[in-house]
Amino acid sequence: MKLDMRRLSIDWLIEIIHIGIERIVIVDRDGIIVYIDEAYCEFIGTTFDDAIGRPVQEIIENTRMHIVAKTGEKEIENLQPINGSVMIANRYPIFIDGKLVGAFGTVIFPDPDNLRHFKNKMNNLLEELNFYKNKAVNELTSKYSFDDLIGNSHTFKAAKALGEKVAGSDSSVLITGESGTGKELFAHAIHHSSARSSFPFVAINCASIPEVLFESELFGYEDGAFTGAKKGGKEGLFTVANKGTVFLDEIGDMPLSMQSKLLRALQEKEVQPVGGQKTIPIDLRIIAATNRDLTKMIEEGTFRQDLFYRLNVINIEIPPLRKRKDDIEAISNKLLQKLERKFYRKGTVLSPEVVTKLEEHKWPGNVRELENVLERAINVLDGTVILSEHLPLYIRDQKMKASEQESLNNNSSKHVSPLAVQPLKETLAQAEKKAMTHALKIADGDKLAAAKLLGIGKTSFYDKCKVYDIR
Ligand SMILES: Nc1ncnc2c1ncn2[C@@H]1O[C@H](COP(=O)(O)OP(=O)(O)OP(=O)(O)O)[C@@H](O)[C@H]1O
């Protein structure tokens, strides 16, 4: 039964239309405007008389009313840019006695404050989207090639030559070496020189993923796989990296339960997203890295032997900096170039005395420590020549008692001689390391929880763990 509206006068109907916050346009089957309300006309800079009888696309920017009047398909909550603002448009076909006769459209003009708010929100979201798009593209490509690996010492050159040689093959590579020796740099360079270089390079830090999230991060999950899961599911990093290279950094920190799942995925060359039935084929090259002794971990039962064999097809061992003193000057100069770009400096050089001091130091934190020392120097430098006085005390005074030096290297304030006054930066670093170790102890080794206790983000926590060599 049709509702009888004949008791409503046309004035009433017009008034009712004006009360609504939506603005209205009605077109006939050919997309010709048969009605448009005044506020709509005002907004698009026309008049009622001018608009009536004209094709809608001549009057309203980005309209699709004429299309809906032809297809009979409604379009709901479409975003329609008009006059530089994004409107929300609904378009409905009009059927009379089952026959398509035209279309009825509404656009919402919120009040100016709301509109401004809506525009700002949209702009912020678009900016955020662009930021993440760029970030995603940057993160999925290798940033370094073998040319970026500096070092002429015999041992380093041998490691580099092996890397270059195996880059072309598809075999798994295990890169071992102390923290800060350049393992990640090697992984980038291998991918860069491989046939997979035009496909993604996805670096995964196994120490930074909480155990419960490992499987879903690596293999993805299906819609509704668990409470809090994103609607529509999520792609895993292994599928994101398809045809490219996955770099599993700190593989020694991968929990045992995950090690078996990883092994299965590598053997079967497929992954099964969490909560899903189907498997997805993957074509990947794996490069893993660790500063831990995996052989010892196998003996202790904390690392799977079969996974070790799978990853360790080619082993590249990067020697620590103290065993390649000849490289220190060349690496320092390369790092200085990088730092000069960061701090807008030019022409910075090391004095011969500083080169000697740097060569005498043991470098427990390897190249990363050297980088930090040079960054400190460039910060306190007035001219262009880095002198001894620009180095931290523990490197400047190599004759310091062994125990004192050890304690300073470890950034532990416990054994610092009361006479030794250190630069503020080091004192702060020691305090920071102490606070992090303490938080980790309280959080029972859970790095995420420790970061929360300290009120810092997890990325910042993991970065600092690397700098202070906290495991
Ligand atoms: N041979 C090298 N030439 C130039 N820069 C280097 C070299 N080796 C390392 N670096 C620099 O030293 C820093 C540490 O390197 P990287 O992160 O690759 O070490 P890592 O062994 O992966 O450390 P970790 O085990 O802590 O993850 C980086 O800034 C890197 O650019």
Using a 10 angstrom Cβ sphere, with 0-12 exposed, 13-18 middle and 19 or more buried, the burial of residue 459 is exposed
Ligand 1 mutation target, pool 206, 329, 367, most atoms within 8 A of CB: 367
- Which residue would you say has higher pLDDT here, 236 or 135? 236
Whether the predicted pLDDT of 453 surpasses 60: yes
Q: Answer for the pair 23, 59: CB distance below 8 angstroms, yes or no.
A: no
Task: Bin 344: left if φ > 0, else alpha if -120 < ψ < 50, else beta.
Answer: left
**pLDDT at residue 150 is higher than 80:** yes
pLDDT at 414: 37
Interface pTM, i.e. ipTM: 0.97
Pinpoint the residues of the chain covered by CATH 1.10.8.60. Answer: 323-391
The reported pLDDT for the residue numbered 363 is 92
Residue 186 confidence (pLDDT): 96
Residues with CB under 6 A from ligand 1: 149-151, 177, 179-185, 249, 289, 291, 331, 334, 367-368, 371, 466
Distance from residue 180's CA to the centre of ligand 1 (Å): 5
Of residues 9 and 359, more confidence is placed in 359
Residue 53 predicted with pLDDT over 70: yes
Say if residues 119 and 86 touch (Cβ distance below 8 Å): yes
- Per residue in 393-429, pLDDT (tens digit) is 888 876 544 444 455 445 433 334 444 566 677 778 8
Answer yes or no: is pLDDT of 164 > 50: yes
- pLDDT score for 134: 64
- So what's the pLDDT on residue 419? 43
pLDDT category at 100 given cuts 50, 70, 90 is very high
Give pLDDT, residue 412.
39
- pLDDT band of residue 379 (cuts 50, 70, 90) is confident
Q: What is the pLDDT of residue 264?
A: 94
Phi, psi of 134 (to 5 degrees): -65, -40
**pLDDT by residue (tens digit) across 299-357?**
999 999 999 999 999 999 999 999 999 999 999 999 999 999 888 888 999 999 999 99
pLDDT of 370 over the 60 cut: yes
Residue 157 or 208, more confident: 157
User: What separation in Å is there between the alpha carbon of 371 and the centre of ligand 1?
Assistant: 9
Angle in degrees, 0-180, between the axes of helices 328-343 and 366-380, rounded to the nearest 10 = 50
CATH of region 10-108, choose from 3.30.930.10, 3.30.450.20, 3.40.50.2300, 3.40.50.2030 = 3.30.450.20
CA 184 to ligand 1 centroid distance, Å: 6
CATH architecture of the domain formed by 146-319 = 3-Layer(aba) Sandwich (3.40)
Quote the CA–CA distance of 106 and 40 in Å, as a whole number.
Answer: 10
- The answer to whether residue 189 scores a pLDDT higher than 80 is yes
What is the structure's pLDDT at 402? 46
| Inter-residue contact 100 to 60 (CB < 8 Å) | no
Binning the chain into helix, strand and coil, the percentages to the nearest 5 are 50, 15, 35
What is the model's pLDDT at position 469?
Answer: 76
pLDDT at 266: 94
Q: What does the mean pLDDT of the chain come to?
A: 85
Question: Which residue did the predictor score with more confidence, 150 or 20?
Answer: 150
pLDDT tens for 120-139 read 666 777 777 776 766 665 56
- How many angstroms separate the CA atoms of 352 and 85, rounded? 63
DSSP summary character for residue 403: H
Q: Residue 220, SS3?
A: strand
Q: Residues of CATH 3.30.450.20 domain(s) within the chain?
A: 10-108
Buried-exposed string 296-322: b where 16+ CB fall within 10 A, e elsewhere = ebbeeeebbeebbebbeebebebbbbe
| Residues carrying CATH 3.40.50.300, the chain | 146-319
Query: Which of 150, 153, 185 has most ligand 1 atoms within 8 Å of CB, for mutation?
Result: 185
382-396: pLDDT as tens digits: 889 999 999 988 888
Structure tokens, 105: 């459209």
Interval between CA 60 and ligand 1 midpoint (Å)? 58
Name the CATH topology of 323-391.
Helicase, Ruva Protein; domain 3 (1.10.8)
Nearest CA to ligand 1 atom 29: 368
